[in-house]
Amino acid sequence: MKILVLNSGSSSLKYEVFDLENLNVLARGIVEKIGEEGSFLRYRVNLAQRVIEETKNLVIPDHDIALKNVLNVLLDGKHGVIRDKSEVVAIGHRVVHGGETFHSTAIIDGKVIDTIRENINLAPLHNPPNLKGIEVARRIFTEALQVAVFDTAFHHSIPRKAFIYAIPLEMYQKHKIRRYGFHGTSHAYVAEKTSEYMGKPLEDLSLITVHLGNGASMAAVKNGKCVDTSMGMTPLEGLVMGTRSGDIDPALPFYMAGQLGMSYDAIENLLNRECGLRGLCGTNDMRAVVKMSKGGNEKAKLALDIYCYRIKKYIGAYTAILGGVDAIVFTAGIGENSPDVRSLSCSDLGYLGIEIDEEKNISSSGEIREISTAASRVKILVVPTNEELKIAIETKKAYARISGNR
C-alpha cells in the first residue's frame, strides 16, 4: 500500500510516493509548465538495485492530464512503483491556507472542499491550484482517502495578542483579518526533529525555527506550540525574501499610489515579485548574492546585510518572547546551504548565549548538524526540512484513524 503526496501549483504538480508501512520514498517528481509550451515531467524512481531519473517532454494542457501522466509513470511496467492505482490508499495534499477553520490535518469531503474554496480570498495565488489538485486526484483516485495538510495549521496556537493587528477589532471579527503565518508544515517538522536530536521532549523546549528559501519565515516555538511567527495574513510580512519586501512602513503603498501614480495591481506586484533581494541587487538567488558580495558588489553586500539584519532582529524579539531559547534551527534551501547567512545572522549575539562556531558552520552535510561553539548556551542547528515526509506522516495518521489501525 502506498501514500501519494501532492503539491499542486498554478502551473506545476509536485509529487512523492511513500510506502505506507515504513514511509520510505519510492518515487518523486514534478510536472512543470502545465498549460504552457515546453511542458515536461521529471521523475525519479528508487528501485531495489538502482535509481532511475528521466525527463519527458509532453503536451500537458491541464492538471488532469498532468496527474494522468504521473500515474502512467508510476504504473510503468519497466520501472513503475505500483501495479494498480488501487495500491494508492491515501493522498496527502498540501493546502496553503486553512483560515480559522482548520487547526489540524483534515480528511477531505465536500464540506472541507467548500471551506477551502471560501478561504481563496485569503490566499488567491495558492488555494485555487491546491484545490484543483484535490479535485483532480478525487476524480482519478476514486477509492483513495484524500487528506488536506495546511501550512497555517501549526500556527493556530499563537495567542490573540500575537495574531490580532492593532486595527479596529471588527476587522478581525467580521473579516478575519489577522496573522495566520505560513511554512507551518516545515516549522513543525524541524521542531520535532530538533527534539529528537536533543533528546528532550518538545514540550520542554523553547526554539526559534528559521525557514529560509525564496520565501522565508521564522517561528517562536515554546513547549511544542508556536507562539509567534513572522509571516502575517499573507506571506508578504516579516523577513526579507527572494522577491518579497517583508516588513515595511504600512503607509508606503499609499505614497506609491498618491505620489508615484502606481496602480493597486502594480504595487502588489512590486512588493511580492520585484522587492527583497531582487529589488536590492537584481537577483533573488542567494548563491549569486553571496558571490557578488564577496566580489565587491556593493548592492549585493547591502542586500546580504539587510537580509541577515532582519533575521537577527527577529532572533532578538523571539528570544524575549520565549524568555530564553534552547536552540536556533536553520532550515530550507538557504538556511541549510548558506554558511554566510547563518554566520551574519548569528554574529555578535554572545550576550544572548548565542555563539556560532565558524569552522563547524562551513562544513557541509545532508544530516542534522550542530554549528554552535561548545561554550554557547544556545544550540545553533542546521536541520534539513522535509515537508513532503511530514505530509505523508499526517496522511498515514489519518488513514490509521479511518481504518482502525492505530
| 118: pLDDT strictly greater than 90 | no
DSSP secondary structure of 168-228: -HHHHHHH--S---S-HHHHHHHHHHHHHHHTS-GGG-EEEEEEESSSEEEEEEETTEEEE
For domain 2-150, say whether CATH 3.30.420.40 is its number.
yes
- Would the pLDDT of 378 be above 90? yes
Report, as an integer, the average pLDDT of 365-369: 90
113 has pLDDT over 70 = yes
Kindly give, in sequence order, each residue whose CB lies less than 8 Å from that of residue 199, ignoring residues fewer than 6 positions away: none
Query: pLDDT at position 327, please?
Result: 98
CB 387 within 8 A of CB 374: no
From 74-88, 225-239, 359-373, the region with the lowest mean pLDDT: 74-88
Which residue is catalytic, options 62, 151, 228, 285? 151
Cα dihedral value 260, 261, 263, 266, nearest 10:
-40
What is the per-residue pLDDT across 279-336, written as a single tens digit (0 to 9) for each?
A: 999 999 999 999 999 999 999 999 999 999 999 999 999 999 999 999 999 999 999 9
Nearest Cα neighbor of 92 from 403, 406, 389, 384 is 389
φ, ψ at 328 (rounded to 5°) = -105, 130
pLDDT at 359 over 80: yes
- The counts of H helices and E strands in the chain are 15, 14
How do the residues of the chain divide into helix, strand and coil, expressed in percent and rounded to 5?
Answer: 45, 20, 35
Q: How many CA atoms lie within 13 A of 239 on its CB side?
A: 31
Strands, E, within 20-168: which ranges? Answer: 25-32, 40-46, 51-57, 88-95, 106-107, 145-150
Architecture per CATH, 199-387: 2-Layer Sandwich (3.30)
pLDDT reported for residue 210:
98
Beta carbons within 10 angstroms of residue 175's beta carbon: 9
pLDDT band at 120 (very low <50, low <70, confident <90, very high): confident
Q: Is the dihedral of CA 121, 271, 339, 290 positive or negative?
A: positive
49 pLDDT tier (thresholds 50, 70, 90): low
Alpha helices (H) along 25-181: 63-75, 110-118, 127-140, 160-163, 169-175
Provide mean pLDDT across the span 167-195.
Answer: 95
Distance CA 209, CA 62 (A): 36
Q: What does pLDDT average to over the chain? A: 92
pLDDT above 70 for 368: yes
Q: How many CB atoms lie within 10 A of CB 292?
A: 20
Distance CA(82)–CA(45), nearest Å, equals 11
pLDDT at 140: 86
Please measure the distance between the N-terminal and C-terminal CA atoms of the chain and give it in whole angstroms.
Answer: 16
How many CA atoms does the CB half-sphere of 354 hold within 13 Å? 23
What is residue 154's three-state secondary structure? Answer: helix
pLDDT-based confidence at residue 48 (cuts at 50, 70, 90):
low
Tell me the per-residue pLDDT of 246-272, one tens digit each, with 9 for 90 and over.
Answer: 999 999 999 999 999 999 999 999 999
pLDDT band at 108 (very low <50, low <70, confident <90, very high): very high
- The pLDDT value recorded for residue 405 is 54
Q: What is the pLDDT of residues 122-144, one digit of tens each?
A: 777 788 888 888 988 888 889 99
Higher model confidence: residue 195 or residue 45?
195
CA-nearest of 314, 315, 317, 291 to 304 is 291
User: Number of C-alpha atoms within 13 angstroms, CB side, residue 246?
Assistant: 26
pLDDT over 60 (residue 355)? yes
Q: Are 399 and 386 in contact (CB under 8 A)?
A: no
Please check the confidence at residue 58 and state whether its pLDDT lies above 90: no
Residues 377-391 have a mean pLDDT of: 95
Q: What is the mean pLDDT of residues 234-249?
A: 94
| φ, ψ dihedrals at 299, nearest 5° | -65, -40
Indicate where the chain has its CATH 3.30.420.40 domain(s).
2-150, 199-387
Active site residue 151: yes
